Structure 1
Amino acid sequence: MISLLHQRQDPTLIDHTATTKRSGSDTLRSRRNPRDEERQPLIQQRQQQTLEQRYTSPAISAEAPEQEQRSFEYSWSLKLHGLIASFTVSSLYTLSSYFVPAVNAIPIFNWMSLGFVDLNAWQWYFTPSFSYIGQGIIMGLPTTLSMLLGCVIGWGILSPVAYYAGWAPGPIDDWKTGSKGWILWISLGVMIAESCVSLIVVLVRSIVKTVRRKQEERLYAVASNSNEPVQEETIEHVLEEEVIEVDAPVSQQVSRKVATIGLIASTILCVVMVRAVFGPEAMPVGMTIISIVIAMFLSVLGVRALGETDLNPVSGIGKLSQCITATLMPGAIVANLIAGGIAEAGAQQAGDLMQDLKTGHLLGASPKAQFYGQMIGSFASVFIATGAYLLYRTVYCIPGPEFPVPTAQVWLDMSRLVNGHPLPPHVSEFVFAFAVLFAVFVLIKELCPDHQKQGWVRFIPQGIAFAIGMYNPPNFTLARVIGGLIVHFWNKFCDVPEYKHKQNHHGLRAWIEPYRAVGGKVFIVVVASGFVLGEGTFAIVNMTMRAFNVPHF
C-alpha cells in the first residue's frame, strides 16, 4: 500500500537476501564486520543499484527501461483506481447506514424461513459491511471458513441446545444467564488451548534451533582445528548454502543503550500510571513489576508466533498471564485483569512493531528513523486515542447494541474463573472436549511433514478463528466469509492461463481482464484496503452527525 500510494516499485519483488556458501575457510555463521557495515550504502541505495543493473543489463534493449516504466505506471494507475473506487463504495454505504440504520441488520434468515422461525432473535442476521468484506479478503478463505464453522457450531447448534436444555435459560443475548454467555466459555477454552500449544511449539523449536546451532559450531570447530580426517557426512550440514537477510548498517540501527533506557523508563512509567489510575490497593508495585516481566517473556513468544504463522495469539497470552497472576495474588480480580492487560498490550505492541520494522526493511527505510517515528506517534496517540474513546463513549453506550465489546466479557469471565468462580451448568464438559480437540489439531498441523500441509491438513480449522466466530455474533462473520470467497475465486481467476481469457472477451470479463492481467492477486488486496479505509473514515463522520443529532430514519 505504501509503495502504491507513493508510486514506487513493488518492494516485495526486490531480493533482500544474500546467499553465501560456507567452506573450510569461512566461519560457520556469516557475520559482517560492524566497521564494514558502516561503509555499506543504505538499503534504498542498494535497491536502486539492483534496479539500475536490471535496466543496464546487456541482455535488455535500450528501450526496456522506458517500456518497463510505462508498464509500471499503467499498473499503478489501475491499482489506484481500484483503491479509489472501493473507498468510495464503502464510504457511501457507511454514510447511508447512518440515515437508514436498518441496513446494518438485514433479517435475511427470517426471510429464508418465511417467518416461521425467528432466527433474528438467535442473532442470525446479515450486516453488509464493506469493511467486514475487506477484512475477509485480507484474512483469506481458510481463516474465514474457520470462523464460519465456529459460528455455525456455536450459534447454530450449541446455543439452542444450551437454551432448550435449561443450561442457559435467560435471554439469548445475556452474558450471565443466556446462551451467548454459555458458548463464550467454549470459545475461551479453544483460544487458551490453541495459544498455549502453539506457544509451547514455538518455544521448543527455538530451544532446538539454539542447541542445534551450538552443536554445529562445535562440529565445525573440531573439523577446522583437527588434523585428523573428518567424515564428510558429519559436517555436510555446515557446508550448505545459507541465505542471509541483508540488515541495515549499524549507523541506522537503534543502539542497545537507547533500548535499555527506554525499557527502564517505560517500566517506571507503567508502574506509576497503574498506581495512579487503580490505586495501591488494587495492584501493588511488586505485582506490577512481575506482570511486566511476565509480559516481556510472553511478548517474545507472541512475536515468534506472529512471524511464523501471521497470527499473534494475544488473547491466549493475556489468559496465560491471568493464570500466573492468580497463583501469585489469589482473589484479586482487578489485579488479575490489570496483569492480563499488561501482557496482552505488550505482546500486541511487540507484534505490531515487528511487522512495521519488516515493512520498513522491505521499503529500505532506516530502523532508527522508524523508531523515532514510533515514539512521535505513540506520544500523539495518547491524546488522539483517548479523545476518540471519550467521543465514542459520549455518543454511544459502551457496552451497548452498537458496541457489545465481547472481549471484555471474555476477560472478566476468565478473571472470575481463575479466582474461584464456578462455570455455568454443563459447560465444563464442552470446554474440555473442544480444548483437547483443538490442541490435537495444532499438534497435527505443526508436526506433520511440509508436503502434507497442502493436502488434507489444510482442511483442519484454525482454533483462534474458530473461537472468534463463536464468541462474536453471526453478522460479524458472514460478511467476512463473503470476502474470503471473493479473494479465493479472484486468485483462481488469476491462475488461469491468459490465453483462455483472450477468447470471447465481452461484458464483465472484458472489463475486468486488465485488472487481472496487470494488477494480479495483489489488486484484490488493494480493493480490500479501500473497503476498510472507506468505512473507517466515514464512521467518524457518522459519529459526528450523531453527536450533533442529525435526523435519520
Structure 2
Amino acid sequence: MDFARKWLRNSRLLEAQPEFTVRAVFWGLLIGCLICFTNLSLGLQSGWISMMSIQSALIGFLISRILPTPMTPQEIIVVQTTAVATGTMPLAAGFVGILPALTLLDEERDGTPAIRLSWLAAIGWSCSVAFFGVFLSPPLRKQVIIEEQLTFPSGTATAQLISVLHDLPPPDTTVRRRQGYRHLEDQEEDAGMPDESAPPVTSSHEVPADQAVVAREGWNELIWSFGVSGAMTLSAYFFPVVFSIPLFGNYLAKEWLWFFTPSLSYVGQGIIMGFPTTISMNLGMVVGWAILSPLSKFMGWAPGPVGDMSNGARGWILWISLGIMCADSLVSLLPVALEYIEDALRPWRRGYSNISEDHTRIRNEETETEDRLVPHSWVVSGLVLSISMGTLLVWMVFGAEGIRPWATLLGFILGGLLSVIGVRALGETDLNPVSGLGKVSQLFFAWIQPGNIVANIIAGGVAEAGAQQAGDLMQDLKTGHLCHASPRAQFFGQLIGSSISILVTTTAFTLYNRAYVIPGPSFPAPTAYVWLSLARLLRDGQLPENSGSFMIVFSAIFAVSSALKTYTARRGHWLAKWIPSGVAFAIGFLNTPSFSIARLLGGIMEFLFRRYFAKDGGDIRLIIVASGFVLGEGVVSIVTLVLRTFGVGVASCIGCGHGLCAGCPAVL
C-alpha cells in the first residue's frame, strides 16, 4: 500500500510539473548537436551510428544538477527526445550512405554523372525526408505502445534510468500478452482478465544507479573521459600514426590493411554496443579480412589492391556482406510480417468474433488525456503535407530524370508500410532492421523503375528514412509513456530537433566535403558502396568472379542463424544474445580491421565491468565514461575540421611506414 501511495503521489506530482520548457529544448538541442557531429563523423568512417538515448538522458541529468532549479523528469525526457531527433539526422537523411553513394556514380558505367548536392540542395533533400517519420510516430505509438505494449528495451532502460536518478518508483514494465481474436467457444474464458502469467520484462541494458554517486562523480568522469578522448583525437590529427598503428607489422598494414586505430570513441561505441555485438563484428572481421580477402586475392578473383572497392578484395567481400545483411534482416522481419498477415486473415475465419478484442482495448486504453496527446488532425495534416512537400522537393533537387514524382510518392507509401514492420521488430528485439528495409525498397524500385540507379537509391533512401526515424522516436515515446511524460511535448521536441538538425547536419556535411574526399581514406563511407552496389546488381545482374557462390552460402548460414536468434529472443532465452548478429557480422566485412578491434576492446571492458564490478547492474559509471569517449572525439572532430579547412596540416608523419594514416600526404 505504501508503494502504491508513493507511486500515485509521484504520478500526480509529475503531471503537474512543467514538461515542454525552453531550457529543456535548449539543452536537448545542444546535446543533440554534439551527437549529430559525432554520428556524422562515425557514420562516414564506419557506417555505424549511435542513437544515444540513455546517454542523452544521463547528460541532461548531470546538467540539471548544476542549474539553479533542477529539471523535472519529464523535462529530462524532452531533453532526451529532442537530442535523439537532432542527433540521428545523419542516418535518417542519408548523409552517411545515400548522398556519398550518389557521388560515386560513373557516367560511363551508370549512365549518369556523379551527383554532388550543394548546401541548398542538401537542405531541400533533408527537408523532404525529415518529418515523415515524426508524423508517423503518434499513430504507431497508439498501436505498439498502448495496445500491443511492446517492450522497446532501450526505451524501457532509459525510463528505468530516469526513475532511479530522480528517486521515483520503478516504472511498470509489465507486458501483457496480446489477446488478439478468439473463437466463439473461447469468448467467455478469461474474458477481460489480464494475463497475470506474463512476467515483468526487463531490458538487457541494466541501468539502476546510485543517484548520489551519479550526482557526485558523474561530471568528473564525463569530463576526464571527454578530455582524454578529445586530446587523443587532436594528437592523431597532428601525428596521424597515433590512429594508424601497424600493430601486426608494416607489411600487413600496407598490403592487407591490418592496422590498429586506438580511438577511444570506437572503444566507447564498443561499450555501448555490448560484448556480444562486438564479438559478432570481430568474427566477421576475421572471416572477411583474414580468410576471404586473402583467398580472393590469391585465387585471382580480386586482382586489384586489397583496399580497392572496384576490383580489390575489399570490393569482393562487400558482396558477401551485402548477402548476409539482406538474409539476416529479411528473416528477422518474417515473424512480424506473418503476424500482420495472420491478423488480417482472422476476420475471414469461421467462428471469428471481436468481443475479446473489445475487452483487450478496454484493458489497454490510453492513459493520457486529450490535451497531452497529439491531435488526429495534426497527424493527418502533417502526413499529407510532409509527403506532398517531400515529393515536390525531391523532384526539385534531382529532377524528373533522377526520379519521377510518382516513384517518390510510392517511396513514402512503402516507407510507411515498412515503418510498421520495423517498429514492431524494434519493439520486440531492440534492433531496427533499417538496412534490410532499405534493401527491400531497392528491390521494389528495381521492378517498378528498372535501369535507373539514381531512382533506386533515392527512393530506397526515402523509404528507409521513415522507418529509421519512426523507430528511433518510438523508443523515446516508450520512455515517456513509462515515466508519464506528455506525448505532445515529446512530439514538439521531435519536430524542433529534426528542424534544427537539417541545418546542422547539412552544414557539417558540406564542411566535411570541402575538407576531405568523401568517400576517401579518412571517411570511407562504407554503406555508400552497399547502396550503389545493390543498385548496380539489380540493374546489371553481374557479380565479381565467384562471389555469388559465397554470397549464397553465407546468406543461407545467416538466414538459419537469424531464424534461430529470432526464435530464442521471442522466448526470452539467454542463448539469443550469444547467437551472432548477421548485421554486426557483415559490418565486420565492410570496415577495415582497425575499426572492429577497438570496438572489441570496449566490448571486453563492458563484459568485465558488468561481471566483476557491477554484478547487480547498480553502477552506471561505465555508461558515463563511454559517453565521454564518444562525444570527446565527436566534438574535437569539429576542431580538426576547422583546422583542415584553414589549411593546417599534419605536424609529422613519423612512425608511419605504411602510408595509410589519415591526413598523410601520400593518400590525400
Shorter chain as normaliser: what TM range? 0.7 to 0.9
Report the Cα offset of residue 105 of structure 1: 0.5
Q: Secondary structure at the match of 1:167?
A: coil
Residue of 562, 581, 598 corresponding to 1:462:
581
Q: How does 1:369-384 map to 2 (within 5 A)?
A: 369-384=489-504
Question: Which of 541, 547, 550 matches 2:645?
Answer: 547
Confirm whether residue 408 of structure 1 aligns to residue 547 of structure 2: no
* Aligned equivalent of 1:477: 596
Normalised by the length of structure 2, the TM-score is 0.65
1:410-453 superposed Cα distances (whole Å, 9 cap, x missing partner): 11110011112410000000000000110011112223487783
CA distance in 2, matches of 1:133, 1:120: 24
CA deviation map 1:40-69 (0-9, x unaligned) = xxxxxxxxxxxxxxxxxxxxxxxxxxxxxx
Q: 1:439 aligned to 559, 565, 579, which one?
A: 559
Residues in 2 aligned to 1:471 and 1:187: alpha-carbon distance in whole angstroms: 7
Amino acid at match of 1:179: A
CA distance in 2, matches of 1:84, 1:73: 18
Contact 2:171 2:482 in 1 (8 A): no
Distance 1:141 1:257 in 2: 45
The answer as to whether partners of 2:304 and 2:311 remain within 8 angstroms in 1 is yes
Q: Does 1:28 align with 2:192?
A: yes
Quickly say closer, same or farther: Cα 1:323–1:448, change in 2 above 3 A: same
- 2:386 matched to 1:266? yes
- Shift, 1:359, TM fit: 3.2
Segments of 5+ residues of structure 2 without an aligned counterpart are 1-54, 66-71, 74-160, 165-169, 180-186, 195-209, 653-668
Is the alpha carbon distance of 1:79 and 1:272 closer, same or farther for their aligned partners in structure 2, counting shifts above 3 Å? Answer: same
CA shift, 1:366, in A, is 1.6
Q: Per the alignment, do residues 334 and 75 of structure 1 end up closer, same or farther by CA in structure 2, a change over 3 Å counting?
A: closer
Number of the residue aligned with 2:626: 528
TM-score (norm 1): 0.78
Would the alpha carbon gap of residues 245 and 532 (structure 1) be closer, same or farther in structure 2, given more than 3 Å must change?
farther
Closer, same or farther: CA 410–18 of 1 in aligned 2, 3 Å: closer
Amino acid at match of 1:415: A
The alpha carbon displacement at 1:460 in A equals 2.3
**Aligned residue for 1:98?**
237
One-letter identity of the residue aligned with 1:145: I
TM superposition shift of 1:18: 7.7
> Is 1:488 equivalent to 2:610 in the alignment?
no
The one-letter code of the counterpart of 1:15 is P
Distance 1:329 1:72 in 2: 56
- Tell me, in whole angstroms, the C-alpha distance in 1 between the residues paired with 2:324 and 2:363: 37
Provide Cα deviations, 1:170-228, integer angstroms capped at 9, x if missing partner: 1111111101000000000000001111111222234557778999x967959x9xxxx
The 1:341/1:140 distance shift into structure 2, 3 A limit, reads same
The letter for the 2-side match of 1:106 is: I
| Structure 1, 91-100 or 21-30: larger mean CA deviation | 21-30
For 1:187 and 1:25, locate their aligned partners in 2 and report how far apart those are by CA, in whole Å: 50
User: Could you tell me which residue of structure 1 aligns to residue 171 of structure 2?
Assistant: 15
Task: Name the % identity.
Answer: 45
Instruction: Give CA-to-partner distance per residue, 1:260-306, whole Å, 9 cap, x none.
Output: 11100010111111111111122111111111111111111111122
Task: Report the equivalent of 1:344.
Answer: 464
| Separation of aligned partners in 1, 2:281 and 2:175 | 40
Change (3 A) 1:349 1:479: same
Instruction: Provide the rounded CA distance (Å) in 2 between the counterparts of 1:197 and 1:342.
Output: 22
Say how many residue pairs are matched: 472
CA contact (8 A) 1:105 1:126 kept: yes
Q: Is the 8 A contact 2:346 2:352 kept in 1?
A: no
Alignment match, 1:163 = 297
Matched-pair contact (CA < 8 Å) for 2:173–2:482: no
Q: Which consecutive residues of structure 1, in runs of 5 or more, have no partner in the other structure?
A: 31-70, 225-237, 498-518
Number of the residue aligned with 1:192: 326
Superposed counterparts of 1:156-235, under 5 Å: 156-208=290-342, 221=355
Query: Contact conserved, 2:428 with 2:570, CA < 8 A, in 1?
Result: no
Q: Which amino acid counterpart does residue 273 of structure 2 have in structure 1?
A: M
Determine the C-alpha separation between the residues in 1 that align with 2:482 and 2:224. Answer: 27
Deviation at 1:169, TM superposition (A): 0.3
Pairing partner for 1:145 from 279, 297, 300: 279
Cα-Cα RMSD: 3.2
The alpha carbon displacement at 1:527 in A equals: 1.2
Contact residue 226 and residue 631 of structure 2 kept, 8 A: yes
Report the CA distance shift for 1:474/1:288 in structure 2 as closer, same or farther (over 3 A): same
Q: Distance in 1 between matches of 2:176 and 2:433?
A: 35
Structure 2 counterpart of 1:487, one-letter code: E
1:174, 1:180 within 8 Å by CA — same for their partners in 2? yes
Please state how far the C-alpha of 1:487 moved relative to its aligned partner.
0.3
